[in-house]
Structure 1
Amino acid sequence: MNTKRWIALVAAAVLLGISLVINSAFALFQTNLDTGLADIMAPAGSDYMEYVIEEGSMDERIAVLNVDGVIQDTGEASPLFGASGYNHSFFMDQLEQVKQDDTVKAIMLKVNSPGGGVVESAQIYDKIKEIQDETKKPIYVSMGAIAASGGYYIAAPAEKIFVNEETLTGSIGVIMESVNYGELAERYGVDFVTIKSGPYKDIMSPTRDMTDEERDLLQGMLNESYESFVDIVEEGRNMSEKEVKEFADGRIMSGRQAVEIGMADDFGFEEDVIANLKKDFDLGDAEVFEYGASEGWGSLLSMKVNSFFGNNMESQLLGKLFSDYNSPRMMYLYGEK
């Protein structure tokens, strides 16, 4: 790596420190600003701004909710490097908002996600079921380029699921991954010292091989989560366990295949899903809207940093080093973490 790259990395590290100071200094200002904007642009009782997609009656409305990115609770702060992506806390608040808002008569859930955390996916699923059971508000799903694993998990309880023919979906299953760099460390003379209270305290340690007993313990946990996933699909798609398990082996499939086996109902883009909601529930004059939040200083700084450094590999790796939490955990996830 040349001198210019080293300078860029050092500058990035310095900017990280500066960003923390800036975020702290402007925290109060941002809170007051966001509150003021919410008062001006949001309806009474709402903490979020609403953006109208289609004009219509404000007494009968269709809410559009977005799940875009990995379903993982990484905190509310936007990362310095890269886009802020999916915000779990913000999305859960939106679900509560549409539940409480009596003017919302139906919901379209847009899913463009490879899945994510087992816990976060279950939280979304439980909230969706709560909305359906307590308010009877219908939920239609519009799947984007990908709605796999946890992305399908949260879509399963919807009244109808719409896909594009080339949508990647399925991948029903659970995964847990870790990296073992013990042999590499030994080659370079690195010795890891571990003091633990029990034989399984460092299970999935990246510094040693896993034992058969440890593998059996973890496999049992994954099997339980897998069976829960299968149950979710059984209930949501009105299928038997045998029917679900014929394709619930982690395989990915296209939208065409999903419709053929009953995992999805029909083909359609977002506008088609909205049109079906209006037709099926007599909401022809309904306003269609989605929630949004004002961009904070952290997001603004993120864009500036990306503009300055571009998308070179060093900045991406540094961003991961600063933002990723790599402790192994169970995921409903298709593809790499």
Structure 2
Amino acid sequence: MNSKRWIAIIAATALIVVSIGINSLSYIFTRDFSSFWNNFNDPYMITEYVMEEGRGNERIAVLTLDGVIQDVPSSLFASSGYDHQFFLNQLDAIYEDPTVKGVVLIVNSPGGGVMESSDIYDAIRAIQAEKEIPFYVAMGGMAASGGYYVSAPAEKIFVHPETITGSIGVIMESVNYAKLAEKYGIDFNTIKTGPYKDIMSGTREMTEEERAMLQEMINDSYERFVDIVAEGRHMSIEDVKKVADGRIMNGRQAIEAGLADETGKPGDAIAAMKEDFGLENASVFEYGTSDSLGSLFGVKIDGLFGRNVETELIGKLLSDYNAPRMMYLYGEK
């Protein structure tokens, strides 16, 4: 490596260090110092950002659900993405806020875990039933499977004509590598307390009895999904099941099938909510993260040093190293 390249590397490193230092000092001195340190260790503290000025006692909250709906740990060193606990905290804040008169939920998700999707659905229904706060949904490029599950209870659903939605169903999968292991002379020694303890293990073939047991679980979650769609969309179980076979559809097809109401973007959903509920003078706001270590440095670590194929592959392998579970998910998890 020649001297010019070394100089360039040193200069770039120095620039990063100086940038972080300036950003950090600026951040600290422009905020309440005691408040910063009080919130320093809580990544789930939320704050508000006004999108449209209006009455403070009549407000519309805008929530964004973007990414796979999974409850995975959040950290400074992780890539940005959907944060399940933070999203639930936003719903809790709405439940406790008497000034919120409506919610517009922007959904851009292929779905995710059965349990996490149910968490969101239950919180939305509690807000609707107990606080009488309406929800409108504006679907982005994708609101499929679990993304549709959490959208179903909305009073009105807006779609883009090319939104990918539907995929009503449940999936549970694992990889069987027993034959591959046998080819390379790899043996697995399993000690278990019952015949089903290693059900869906990748080291052996699944029995028909085991498959039937898992199918019963899947069917139970599927029926709940169908019930939720039928209730939210005011459809019969029979009509829902006509399209609840896992198929995906675009926004236009979703409207024809009764799974959405009209085409529109988030701005259209906000405008419609104002008109439909007499909230023309309401202020519109969204939630954001509070002062924390991540906001102190301004960027995530992967934003500083870039990403490459190797680190993404390692991250995927680590995140996928868990037991098979039921998913309301379209596409690769």
Q: Shared topology, TM-score over 0.5?
A: yes
Residue identity over aligned pairs, in percent, reads: 61
SS of alignment partner, residue 67 of structure 1:
strand
Contact persistence 2:76–2:301 (CA under 8 A): no
Look up the match of 2:273: 277
Aligned equivalent of 1:246, options 220, 242, 250: 242
Structure 2: state its 5+ residue gaps.
Answer: 1-32
Alignment pair present for 1:66 and 2:34? no
Q: Measure, in 1, the Cα distance between the counterparts of 2:298 and 2:52.
A: 32
Aligned equivalent of 1:49, options 44, 47, 50: 47
Note closer, same or farther for the CA distance 1:318–1:284 as it changes in structure 2 (3 Å cut): same
Alignment pair present for 1:217 and 2:213? yes
SS of alignment partner, residue 284 of structure 2:
strand
Q: Measure, in 2, the Cα distance between the counterparts of 1:252 and 1:98.
A: 31
Contact persistence 1:80–1:319 (CA under 8 A): no
Pairs within 5 Å for 1:222-237: 222-237=218-233
SS of alignment partner, residue 260 of structure 2:
coil
Deviations along 1:137-189, whole A, 9 cap, x unmatched? 11100100000001100110110000000000000000001011121122222
Q: CA deviation at 1:192?
A: 0.7
Structure 1: state its 5+ residue gaps.
Answer: 1-29, 38-45
Structure number with greater Rg is 2
Contact persistence 1:58–1:103 (CA under 8 A): yes
Look up the match of 1:10: none
Q: CA deviation at 1:198?
A: 0.5
How well do the aligned residues superpose, as a CA RMSD in angstroms? 2.3
Aligned equivalent of 2:308, options 299, 312, 328: 312
Contact persistence 2:110–2:144 (CA under 8 A): yes
Aligned equivalent of 1:134, options 130, 147, 159: 130
Aligned equivalent of 1:147, options 139, 143, 163: 143
Q: Measure, in 2, the Cα distance between the counterparts of 1:302 and 1:56.
A: 32
Pairs within 5 Å for 1:1-337: 33=36, 35=38, 47-75=45-73, 77-78=74-75, 80-81=77-78, 83-294=79-290, 296-297=292-293, 303-308=300-305, 310-337=306-333
What is the TM-score of this pair, normalised by structure 1?
Answer: 0.83
SS of alignment partner, residue 68 of structure 2:
coil
Contact persistence 1:78–1:84 (CA under 8 A): no
Contact persistence 1:79–1:323 (CA under 8 A): no
Contact persistence 2:76–2:293 (CA under 8 A): no
Contact persistence 2:161–2:263 (CA under 8 A): yes
Note closer, same or farther for the CA distance 1:327–1:333 as it changes in structure 2 (3 Å cut): same
Q: Measure, in 2, the Cα distance between the counterparts of 1:93 and 1:32.
A: 19
Note closer, same or farther for the CA distance 1:64–1:242 as it changes in structure 2 (3 Å cut): same
Q: Measure, in 1, the Cα distance between the counterparts of 2:105 and 2:37.
A: 25
Note closer, same or farther for the CA distance 1:301–1:107 as it changes in structure 2 (3 Å cut): closer
Give the number of equivalent residue pairs: 298
Q: Measure, in 2, the Cα distance between the counterparts of 1:333 and 1:228.
A: 15
Q: CA deviation at 1:295?
A: 6.9
Deviations along 1:268-315, whole A, 9 cap, x unmatched? 01110000000001111111000000474468597333543x443211
Q: Measure, in 2, the Cα distance between the counterparts of 1:136 and 1:275.
A: 19
